[in-house]
């Protein structure tokens, strides 16, 4: 009986997170095939994935008899996999995004648990589930949710690798798939990875297998595209940064992309900004890495007028995690200095307050 009680006390938040996913699942799967595929991208990507699921080349993508090189193939592999299971139809094209959307919530919980606490992970996942464009795009046959999930997974396995080198292999797989999901924008994670691994005790011997796996994941596509359509490889850098380098009104771009971000996350915009600023001045490696990522991801869209609202979805989990992680960390520091005698009581009140805040804002947005 004692063992069962200890097990439940240790993993009750894990079970609560799983239960939360079950409660939220209708947001992602209900009437998923109710509407026809939307032109252009959703129907376009579904047709490209269909070529793979029907036995086409999984490395060099084709559409309408021509090589498609606007994006790498990883997202299309996922769509094709689910098309093979559920059929080449609206549901089969979209359900991969829905499954990944749910996985993104759980990975947000795991990352919050790894960096801060289970509570931060849980309430951050709840907050993410209420962001409008995360839900909307998780019900769409596009690439944005795949990209977002691979960003979260890469962060998570990078931090896990600092404690245990065996996680370098899943890190290498996740990072490789991240680079193969969309053009150039995945490279914005590199400054954060440098922060994460700076001063780590990992040895060269630990990294050899991970490097081999990373190359095994990434090189075949680059090599196949180079052989099949040599002139198309440059699109990896050009498609992902349209308009960068040309004459721009940077203030106009900034205001536009800020409004897109605000509309996409709803009420979590200003809390997210607080988390980003707080992470930059904190001494917490996790907060700093997430804040730097938010900035390095955001800046390229200031340099171009071509940014769209869905491009910013990968920021959403890091905005919610940054806010709740910074709030918990800074709150505990204040409590330890000012209320040390009643530290446990005030810490419990802090956690309850953050949880209530997340539930209130999330419920308001989910209702909409």
DSSP 180-235: TTSSSGGGGGHHHHHHHHTT----HHHHHHHHHHHHHHHHHHHHHHHHH-GGGTTH
- Mapped onto helix, strand or coil, the DSSP state of residue 67 is strand
**Backbone torsion region of residue 38, taken as left when φ is above 0, otherwise alpha when ψ lies between -120 and 50, otherwise beta:** beta
Give residue 239's pLDDT: 72
Measured from the Cβ of residue 211, the count of other Cβ atoms closer than 10 Å reads: 12
- Tell which wins on pLDDT, 13 or 77: 77
pLDDT band, very low/low/confident/very high, at 1 (cuts 50, 70, 90): low
Q: What are phi and psi of 298, to 5 degrees?
A: -75, -40
Q: What would the pLDDT profile of 60-118 be if each residue is shown by its tens digit?
A: 999 988 899 899 999 999 999 999 999 999 999 999 999 999 999 999 999 999 999 99
- Torsion of the alpha carbons at 287, 289, 290 and 293, rounded to the nearest 10: 150
pLDDT band, very low/low/confident/very high, at 243 (cuts 50, 70, 90): low
- Tell which wins on pLDDT, 183 or 1: 183
Q: Rounded to an integer, what distance in angstroms lies between the CA atom of residue 238 and that of residue 235? A: 5
Q: Rounded to an integer, what distance in angstroms lies between the CA atom of residue 239 and that of residue 183? A: 6
| Region of poorest pLDDT, from 12-21, 99-108, 292-301 | 12-21
Q: Rounded to an integer, what distance in angstroms lies between the CA atom of residue 122 and that of residue 297? A: 24
What tokens were used for 97? 């995004």
Residues 238-242, mean pLDDT to the nearest whole number? 65
- Mapped onto helix, strand or coil, the DSSP state of residue 72 is coil
Contact 127, 166 (CB under 8 A): no
Residues 343-357, mean pLDDT to the nearest whole number? 94
Is the pLDDT at 165 greater than 90, yes or no?
yes
Cβ-in-10-Å burial (0-12, 13-18, 19+) of 65 comes to: exposed
Give residue 16's pLDDT: 79
What's 246's DSSP letter? Answer: S
Is the pLDDT at 8 greater than 60, yes or no?
no
Contact 111, 43 (CB under 8 A): no
Give residue 93's pLDDT: 97
Contact 150, 174 (CB under 8 A): yes
Give residue 242's pLDDT: 60
What's 173's DSSP letter? Answer: H
Q: What percent of the chain lies above the pLDDT cut of 90?
A: 74
| Region of poorest pLDDT, from 201-205, 210-214, 232-236, 258-262 | 232-236
Is the pLDDT at 140 greater than 90, yes or no?
yes
Beta strands in 269-337 (DSSP E): none
Residue 118: which residues within 8 A CB-CB, separation 6 or more?
13, 14, 109, 112
Give residue 6's pLDDT: 52
- Mapped onto helix, strand or coil, the DSSP state of residue 260 is helix
Give residue 99's pLDDT: 97
Residues 157-182, mean pLDDT to the nearest whole number? 97
Q: Rounded to an integer, what distance in angstroms lies between the CA atom of residue 274 and that of residue 98? A: 29
pLDDT band, very low/low/confident/very high, at 9 (cuts 50, 70, 90): low
pLDDT band, very low/low/confident/very high, at 254 (cuts 50, 70, 90): very high
Is the pLDDT at 20 greater than 90, yes or no?
no
What tokens were used for 210? 């991970």
Beta strand 66-68 with 61-63: parallel, antiparallel or unpaired? Answer: antiparallel
| Region of poorest pLDDT, from 14-18, 112-116, 351-355 | 14-18
Give residue 269's pLDDT: 98
What does the mean pLDDT of the chain come to?
91
| Region of poorest pLDDT, from 41-55, 239-253, 341-355 | 239-253
Give me the residues paired with residue 63 across strands: 66
Give me the residues paired with residue 182 across strands: none
Give residue 234's pLDDT: 79
What's 245's DSSP letter? Answer: T
Contact 315, 294 (CB under 8 A): yes
| Region of poorest pLDDT, from 95-104, 179-188, 246-255, 256-265 | 246-255
> Where is 32: in which H helix or E strand?
none
Q: Rounded to an integer, what distance in angstroms lies between the CA atom of residue 295 and that of residue 299? A: 6
Residue 349: which residues within 8 A CB-CB, separation 6 or more?
none
Is the pLDDT at 317 greater than 70, yes or no?
yes
Residues 229-238, mean pLDDT to the nearest whole number? 80
Q: What would the pLDDT profile of 171-229 be if each residue is shown by its tens digit?
A: 999 999 999 999 889 999 999 999 999 999 898 888 999 999 999 999 999 999 989 88
Give residue 59's pLDDT: 94
Query: pTM for the whole thing?
Result: 0.94
Q: Rounded to an integer, what distance in angstroms lies between the CA atom of residue 39 and that of residue 41? A: 6
């Amino acid at each position: 009986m004692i063992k069962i009680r200890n097990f439940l006390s240790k993993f009750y938040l894990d079970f609560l997170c799983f239960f939360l996913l079950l409660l939220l699942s209708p947001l992602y799967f209900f009437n998923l095939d109710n509407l026809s595929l939307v032109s252009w991208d959703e129907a376009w990507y579904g047709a490209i994935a269909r070529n793979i699921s029907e036995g086409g080349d999984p490395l060099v993508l084709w559409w309408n008899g021509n090589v498609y090189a606007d994006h790498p193939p990883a997202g299309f592999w996922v769509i094709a996999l689910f098309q093979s299971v559920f059929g080449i139809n609206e549901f089969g094209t979209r359900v991969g995004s829905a499954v990944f959307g749910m996985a993104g919530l759980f990975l947000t919980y795991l990352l919050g648990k790894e960096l801060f606490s289970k509570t931060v992970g849980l309430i951050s996942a709840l907050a993410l589930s209420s962001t409008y464009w995360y839900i909307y795009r998780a019900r769409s046959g596009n690439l944005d949710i795949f990209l977002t999930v691979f960003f979260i997974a890469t962060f998570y396995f990078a931090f896990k690798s600092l404690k245990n080198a065996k996680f370098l292999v899943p890190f290498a797989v996740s990072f490789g798939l991240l680079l193969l999901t969309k053009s150039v924008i995945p490279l914005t994670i590199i400054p954060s990875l440098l922060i994460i691994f700076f001063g780590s005790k990992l040895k060269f011997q630990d990294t050899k297998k991970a490097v081999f796996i990373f190359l095994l994941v990434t090189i075949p596509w680059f090599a196949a595209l180079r052989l099949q359509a040599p002139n198309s490889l440059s699109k990896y850098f050009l498609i992902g940064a349209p308009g960068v380098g040309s004459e721009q009104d940077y203030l106009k771009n900034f205001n536009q992309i800020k409004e897109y971000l605000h509309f996409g996350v709803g009420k979590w915009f200003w809390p997210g900004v607080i988390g980003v600023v707080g992470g930059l001045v904190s001494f917490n490696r996790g907060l700093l890495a997430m804040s730097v990522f938010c900035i390095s991801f955001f800046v390229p869209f200031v340099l171009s007028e071509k940014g769209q609202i869905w491009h910013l979805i990968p920021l959403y989990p890091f905005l919610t995690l940054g806010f709740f992680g910074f709030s918990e960390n800074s709150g505990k520091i204040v409590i330890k200095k000012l209320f040390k005698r009643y530290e446990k009581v005030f810490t419990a009140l802090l956690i309850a307050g953050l949880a209530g805040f997340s539930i209130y804002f999330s419920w308001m947005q989910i209702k909409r």
